Amino acid sequence: MSYTALEKMEHENRARYRMFTGPKQPELPAFSDPDGLKFHALHFLHDCCEELGFDPQKEELEKDGVLLGNSVKEGQIPFNMQMDINRLCLETELGKFIDSGTAEDAYTIYYCYLEMFFGHYGKSKKMVELLSEFESNGSSLLMKHRDHYSHSVYVFSLGLAIYHSNELFRKTFNRYYGFPEDENKEAANFFLKYWGMTSLFHDIGYPFELPFEQVMSYFEVDKKKRSEGVPFLAYRDLGSLNRLDEDTKKRFCELYGKDFDTLEELFSHSIAEKLGTVYGFTEEHLTNVLARKPAYPDEFSFFMDHAYFSAARLFQQLESSFGAEGLEKVHVDALTAIILHNSLYKFSIAFYKKEGTKPLRIELHPLAYLLMLCDELQCWDRTAYGRNSRNELHPMAADFDFSASAVTVTYFFDKAESEKIDYYWEQYSNWKDGKTDKEPELKAYSSMAGDRKDFESDIKRIVDTEQIPLTVKVALTENDRTVKHTYLSRSNFLHLYDFAVSLNGRYKYENLESQTPESVMESDFEKLSLEYQLSNINQAKNFGKYLNAIDCFYTDQPVDFGMVTEFNGEQTAIFAPMEHERWVLEHQRMGWISGDLYETIESDLPPSTLREQFRMHKLAMDGELTHERVVKHYLSLPPEVQEKDYAPFNSMLRLIKKYDGLRIYKLDKDDIDINSIAEEKEKKG
């Protein structure tokens, strides 16, 4: 079985109570595409990552009868059972993200990863949230820019799928890091941790690149090229970002047998060890290149390399989270993979555009190889922010086939853009016939569909695709925007986290909201297990959907609409069944079963603890869950139970006032005081 701690708890419960009480072993759904991205990414997490995060020492301590795992409260379940549930959370959330691709669903992947591998989301949230904030608020000033937040989670998913499906990559990676070549859970768990570190944070340095590009765009709007005579930004005095302290210097001296004063020296040494002989460069040369990239962008074609800042910023987070003594060579491998993935490898090491270039092979740097491959492949479903980017034609979806240890990808373009495509081919035909001098271009369609196959050929110059054969195809299809579930409600991820904290806080601080410090509510939230934190976050994520159903929305922007201060009965009657449906589906995906044995069975344990150990709930539902069946189930519940699906939101309206700028509005501008109108309706019956 894949979830061994859950299985162990089920055996213990069966022995103790002489019946099946749960927990049920989680199962993956049937997949329509058994060689696709979702199949391989989820099967990797489900089948290969057994005992992820398990602690044998804590398991030994629990033999004395004191449990060390958290659920809704501390000490309710075994520690390893909590670790199994954490992995199930990541598996469930990743499936949702692959289906939707939304930034909100990407957010929960970051949340899971940071809680599971860094130990605490709160310590790292600024690193994650600032990238999204900079992109959504500042990127529209640029000429060219597309999303890097959801992009990074797609890259993460692609890497999991390749590790699971590709025997050559898996064996090479395992061998490189000293594991047996055949599949084993230790190697898979190791890969998940460090691939996640590499892929999810490879673009967090964009807040450093965006201001540079904004200045460049100011002049590009005036049709001026990047060249001498155009003002540009440069970064100097970066010691606070890349200088190593004494403890860290000592640690790296232990690992490498050499003293380093800066990250640039450390990265250059590690990269030169791996690639220097093959590509003919020295450690000293690369140190000089890294030192000059942020300070002298004019020497690098007037481009700023976000990868430099991504690696430096992530290093700061690793040092803060694990301490100098917790740093290992594999952390440096993740960091050097990040610093290589953009321009450093392409233009300062491999010079990939030149004839005779040597594409990177897996065995030289497996994490860098995989990041470069997946970063190039992930070009679909990316929000276009830049002025030119919004007018270009990028793939909206992609279909992957990982069979035969190869990658075959079909990129889908919107049929609604057929006029652009037809015009491109008309111009292309004229160019081929010699009627025009310049070959036409329609980014990114022409690079994939044109005769030169620039998209595919560029990837083959960057990484060795003889090791992982690559085929790129193009197709047109209808654009189904409903999968995005996009509504008017807009804020940022700081507010999404605040929403979740508020939802949790209302249970304890109802009618005391104004007197309760935010730090107290956040502390209570952090004591919950990952599963219960995510339940609050997912409830918050769905708030926009519920508001849409009652013609309302939230925003942190001042707008000319009537503000909502309380939901009336008519409104709650609409969104309460929707919240119940979300809760029921969430619990089924997480393996909960229907029943009330935890309230009736004879035991020394309190019912609340038994409920968590059985993973059984009297409001959960089994079997096929249709919308009609769930709504019928909701309507059959007593009023005091139904209230649990809408009462939190009225309390939350009071709590979120504590957070700057976020308000809820009614779409109908003429209906300014909807609460007074609702009262009048109630008086009239």
The per-residue pLDDT for range 62-117, each reduced to its tens digit, is 998 899 999 999 999 999 999 999 999 999 999 999 999 988 899 899 999 999 99
8 Å CB contact between 67 and 529: no
Alpha-carbon distances, residue 449 vs 373, 399, 475, 574, 631 (angstroms): 19, 16, 9, 47, 47
pLDDT band at 559 (very low <50, low <70, confident <90, very high): confident
Residue 504's contacts (CB-CB under 8 Å, 6 or more residues apart) are 521, 524, 525, 528, 532, 536
Reduce the DSSP state of residue 20 to 3 states and report it.
coil
Per-residue model confidence as pLDDT tens digits over 364-382: 999 999 999 999 999 988 7
Q: In terms of pLDDT, which residue wins out, 71 or 645?
A: 71
pLDDT on residue 387: 47
Least confident of 33-47, 212-226, 249-263, 383-397: 383-397
From 278, 265, 267, 142, select the one nearest 214 (Cα to Cα). Answer: 142
Whether the CA torsion 625, 628, 629, 634 is positive or negative: it is positive
From 134, 137, 131, 141, select the one nearest 110 (Cα to Cα). Answer: 131
Per-residue model confidence as pLDDT tens digits over 2-47: 899 999 999 999 999 999 999 999 999 888 888 999 999 999 999 9
Section 190-216 average pLDDT: 90
Residue 347 in tokens: 């233009």
Percent of the chain residues past pLDDT 70, beyond the cut: 88
DSSP letters along 255-313, please? HHSS--SBHHHHHHHHHIIIIIHHHT--HHHHHHHHHHTTT-GGGGTT---HHHHHHHH
pLDDT on residue 133: 64
Q: What is the 3-state secondary structure (H, E, C) of 611-671?
A: HHHHCEECCCCCCCCCHHHHHHHHHCCCHHHHHHHCHHHHHHHHHHHHCCCCEEEECCCCC
pLDDT on residue 519: 81
Section 153-160 average pLDDT: 97
pLDDT band at 684 (very low <50, low <70, confident <90, very high): very low
Q: Which residue has the tokens 């030192």?
A: 291
Section 597-613 average pLDDT: 96
pLDDT band at 568 (very low <50, low <70, confident <90, very high): confident
- pLDDT for residue 508 is more than 90: no
Per-residue model confidence as pLDDT tens digits over 344-369: 999 999 999 888 889 999 999 999 99
Section 429-453 average pLDDT: 88
Q: Across the chain, what does the average pLDDT equal?
A: 88
- pLDDT for residue 246 is more than 60: yes
Q: Which residues pair with 562 in a beta bridge?
A: 666
- pLDDT for residue 676 is more than 50: no
Alpha-carbon distances, residue 108 vs 190, 212, 294, 447 (angstroms): 21, 30, 32, 33
pLDDT on residue 685: 43
| Residue 665, phi then psi, degrees to nearest 5 | -130, 155
- pLDDT for residue 624 is more than 80: yes
Per-residue model confidence as pLDDT tens digits over 254-286: 999 999 999 999 999 999 999 999 999 999 999
Section 510-521 average pLDDT: 76
- pLDDT for residue 533 is more than 50: yes
- pLDDT for residue 541 is more than 80: yes
Q: How far apart are CA 134 and CA 204, in angstroms?
A: 10
Section 587-597 average pLDDT: 96
Section 144-173 average pLDDT: 90
Q: Report the DSSP pairing between strands 74-77 and 407-414.
A: unpaired
Q: At what angle do helices 167-176 and 366-377 cross, to 10 degrees?
A: 140
Section 297-301 average pLDDT: 91
- pLDDT for residue 492 is more than 60: no
- pLDDT for residue 139 is more than 80: no
H-state helical runs in 466-557: 493-509, 518-527, 530-541, 543-549
- pLDDT for residue 677 is more than 50: no
- pLDDT for residue 143 is more than 80: no
Alpha-carbon distances, residue 503 vs 51, 199, 557, 655, 661 (angstroms): 32, 31, 22, 8, 18
Reduce the DSSP state of residue 233 to 3 states and report it.
coil
| Top-confidence range, 123-137, 461-475, 565-579 | 461-475
Section 620-628 average pLDDT: 94
Give Dmax (Cα) for the chain: 88
pLDDT on residue 389: 47
Least confident of 8-22, 132-146, 226-240, 504-518: 132-146
> In angstroms, what is the C-alpha Rg of the chain?
27
Percent of the chain residues past pLDDT 90, beyond the cut: 61
- pLDDT for residue 640 is more than 70: yes
Per-residue model confidence as pLDDT tens digits over 651-672: 767 766 666 567 888 887 554 4
pLDDT on residue 227: 74
Q: Which residues pair with 349 in a beta bridge?
A: none
- pLDDT for residue 232 is more than 90: no
